Copies of this chain bind each other. A is one copy, B any other.
Amino acid sequence: MNDATRDIEALIELMARLPGLGPRSARRAVLHMIKKRALLMIPLADVLQNVAASARECLTCGNVGTTDICDICTSEKRATGELCVVEDVADLWAMERAGAFKGRYHVLGGTLSALDGVGPEDLSIPRLRDRIADENITEVILALNATVDGQTTAHYIADALEGRVTVTTLAQGVPIGGELDYLDDGTISAALRARKSF
């Protein structure tokens, strides 16, 4: 096996570490790339090289971008005064795709978890307090996942910020396009409790 063949092996081994890929699917992906060399592999290699050189976390909100302060934090079009708190960058991107929020974000970097030993100081909760004071925030919108850990974290933050700022959270209920027959009991109960006049 020469050096270059070892590179193919190394590529498969690295690809297999990505979430959602294992050794078998990584091999398949690498073979596919090699077959589509001009259309897929070379552009992918170039763009990955660029991103690897430039990607970093926003020092203000924790979003992933290519500058020290991300595009959202620097944008003059985004409303000041509102902060949307999310667990992870993926959640921030999901909010952005929905396109309904025009304020700025704060990425926690996870959820509180007694089991995994994650306390408030391991997340960016202290920085959230600082931002609320520094940026004259009036409303904090908790857009945390509707999981046990997510909701525990939401309660902790709401308690910690009580009296300093308005804290709201995403509504819970029937998803758009959702069929009652396929929904879990908890969602139906939540939607019924939060019912509104038609």
B28 touches A55 (CB 8 A): no
* Distance between Cα atoms of A49 and B32 in the complex (Å): 16
**A7-B50, A45-B45, A47-B7 known; A90 vs B28 contact (CB < 8 Å):** yes
* Distance between Cα atoms of A19 and B25 in the complex (Å): 8
Q: Which residues of B contact A89 (CB under 8 A)?
A: 31
Q: Mark A63-96, 1 if CB is under 8 A from B, else 0.
A: 0111100010000000000000000111001000
Q: Mark A166-179, 1 if CB is under 8 A from B, else 0.
A: 00000000000000
**Majority DSSP secondary structure for residues of A touching B:** helix
A34 touches B51 (CB 8 A): yes
The verdict on A2 contacting chain B, using a C-beta distance below 8 Å, is yes
The verdict on A190 contacting chain B, using a C-beta distance below 8 Å, is no
* Distance between Cα atoms of A41 and B28 in the complex (Å): 19
The verdict on A8 contacting chain B, using a C-beta distance below 8 Å, is yes
A31 touches B66 (CB 8 A): no
* Distance between Cα atoms of A140 and B34 in the complex (Å): 27
**A8-B64, A54-B4, A71-B1 known; A45 vs B49 contact (CB < 8 Å):** yes
A93 touches B27 (CB 8 A): yes
| CB closest residue in chain B, given A64 | B34
A residues with CB within 8 A of B: 1-2, 4-5, 7-8, 10-11, 14-15, 17-21, 25, 27-34, 37, 40-45, 47-52, 54-55, 64-67, 71, 88-90, 93
Given contact pairs A7-B47, A18-B40, A34-B64, a sample of 10 additional A-B residue pairs in the complex whose CB atoms are under 8 Å apart: A5-B71, A7-B50, A8-B65, A8-B66, A18-B32, A19-B29, A20-B21, A28-B90, A31-B64, A37-B55
